[in-house]
Amino acid sequence: QVQLVESGGGLVQTGGSLRLSCAASGRIFSINYMGWYRQAPGKQREWVAGIISSGTTSYAGSVKGRFTISRDIAKNMVFLQMNSLKPEDTAVYYCAANIGSRTDWGQGTQVTVSS
């Protein structure tokens, strides 16, 4: 099992930037994938970005070119740099880690983009 703690959310104006952090602990050496997801009020949770053990990254079309996922292996952390934020990016953002078919989740951090 992996424990995940997100931080860095907050309130920002349209066009602004935020950097989310996710600190991982536990069975970190077994993690094969980490990702960021988000859930807006009244909507289903959706995938935002991911990074696999090789370092290859991928992004949802709605954030590609604006968001960047990265990691610091030495610190067991994953980040999500969010630029050019839009009101539709408002959501609770969750960090997730996969070990095989198992997915562990963080508690989430709120991001609110004002227009």
Tell me: the pLDDT tens digits for 22-42?
Answer: 999 988 888 899 999 999 999
Residues in Cβ contact with 92 at an 8 Å cutoff, skipping those fewer than 6 apart: 38, 39, 40, 108, 109, 110, 111
**What is the distance between the alpha carbons of residues 81 and 101, in angstroms, rounded to a whole number?**
27
Angstrom CA distances, 101 to 17, 49, 106, stand at 33, 18, 17
Rounded mean pLDDT, 9-16: 98
Taking only the tens place, the pLDDT of each residue in 91-112 is 999 999 999 889 999 999 999 9
Alpha-carbon gap, residue 25 to 57, rounded angstroms: 21
| 52/98 Cα distance (integer angstroms) | 9
